[in-house]
Amino acid sequence: MNNQQNQGRFQALQGYFESEPQPRLSAKTIQLILLREIHDFTMLRTEATGELNTAITPKSITDHTPTLRVVFLGSKQKAPETRAMRAELEEYFSIHELFEDNKYKVMEKCEFQKDLCCTCPRCILMGAAIMGKANIKHRAIYKTAYSLLPFEELETPITFNAINDASMKTGQALGAFNTITGSTLVPSIVSIQGMTEYEFALLIKTIIKTKDYGARTATFGSVRNNFVGIVAGLEQIITPLELTLELYQAINDKKDISVNTTKDILEKYKGFASTPDKVKVFTSDEIINTLKGVRDWNFFDSNAKDDVIRMCDHALAFGKTVRG
Ligand SMILES: [Zn+2]
């Protein structure tokens, strides 16, 4: 697969990618809108005391009554995903025998929170620092997310089958919710800046595959990440708190929690952007096609070796600019 063929892989996002990672942070921003479906509360507790992490928020976007919500800290969302990304990369390195070439050996050892290589695609994308040597700013931004329902309503059972109902195709592509307690849904946003197409694919693959969150993942902390929206622009269009308060309002207005509801919310916030004409809100078909494009891009395939090499060459070059 060469450069030419790759261009246009994600049609709906043309104009929002960089051809290679830029040391100077680009304004091009893509926000992935997720409903994190949490299958137990372990990862929402502080490890020291076991207490739930909570915050006082408005009740909804129109009702400002102070209301307690459970929070999912950005750091707790990011940590397992950054580890999973490195694990995914190691599979690519192994299958394509990358370390046969001495050039790439510098990225062979990269231990999270210990000895980051500052040259692999993970370090370049998720950020890395070596005291006195390098400081790579992350381009994937994770922020605190707030439970869809207020704490007092956590046990309220809610049926989320709207995505499944929208059309068979939508249900298959995005994952369908069955009847689950409302407490298990946390709207969340991963914002990404100045990404290449292959970094975008790598990050989405990572988010799709990561299921274990929290400290004791052998027995606790399962999460399924559902994509319910994508918006691209030259700035962040919406914050996780706004997303939660808008979706909660939608429930109160008897709307479904669906891709179409999320799209309406994103269209509203597009109007608040500095230049709305530069903002693109994805339709449900565009989300489906984008996720299909990610899934179909098989980095394990021998045909994709050039893509993996290009990803690594760009990361090496980027690493050199910050490491000297
Ligand atoms: Zn690394």
Ligand 1 centroid, distance to 140 Cα (angstroms): 15
Ligand 1 centroid, distance to 118 Cα (angstroms): 5
Query: Is residue 2 pLDDT above 60, yes or no?
Result: no
Query: Is residue 180 pLDDT above 80, yes or no?
Result: no
pLDDT (tens digit per residue) in 101-128: 999 999 999 987 778 899 999 999 999 8
Residue 6 maps to a domain = no
Residue 73 maps to a domain = yes
Residue 146 maps to a domain = yes
Ligand 1 centroid, distance to 117 Cα (angstroms): 4
Query: Is residue 219 pLDDT above 90, yes or no?
Result: no
pLDDT score for 177: 42
| Strongest mean pLDDT among 3-17, 55-69, 143-157, 165-179 | 55-69
pLDDT score for 74: 94
- The count of structural domains within the chain is 1
Residue 243 maps to a domain = yes
Per the CB < 8 A criterion, the answer to whether 186 and 243 are in contact is no
Question: What is the pTM (predicted TM-score) of this model?
Answer: 0.89
The C-alpha atoms of residue 29 and residue 234 are separated, in whole angstroms, by 5
Ligand 1 centroid, distance to 109 Cα (angstroms): 7
Ligand 1 centroid, distance to 287 Cα (angstroms): 30
Ligand 1 centroid, distance to 108 Cα (angstroms): 8
pLDDT score for 17: 95
Ligand 1 centroid, distance to 126 Cα (angstroms): 9
Residue 94 maps to a domain = yes
Ligand 1 centroid, distance to 194 Cα (angstroms): 19
In terms of residue numbers, what domain contains 210? 13-323
Ligand 1 centroid, distance to 151 Cα (angstroms): 39
The C-alpha atoms of residue 240 and residue 228 are separated, in whole angstroms, by 13
Residue 8 maps to a domain = no
Residue at 196: amino acid letter: T
Residues with Cβ within 8 Å of residue 245, at least 6 apart in sequence: 57, 58, 59, 60, 61
**H-only helix segments in the chain:** 3-6, 74-95, 121-126, 162-166, 168-174, 197-209, 240-252, 259-270, 284-296, 305-323
Residue 47 maps to a domain = yes
Ligand 1 centroid, distance to 173 Cα (angstroms): 32
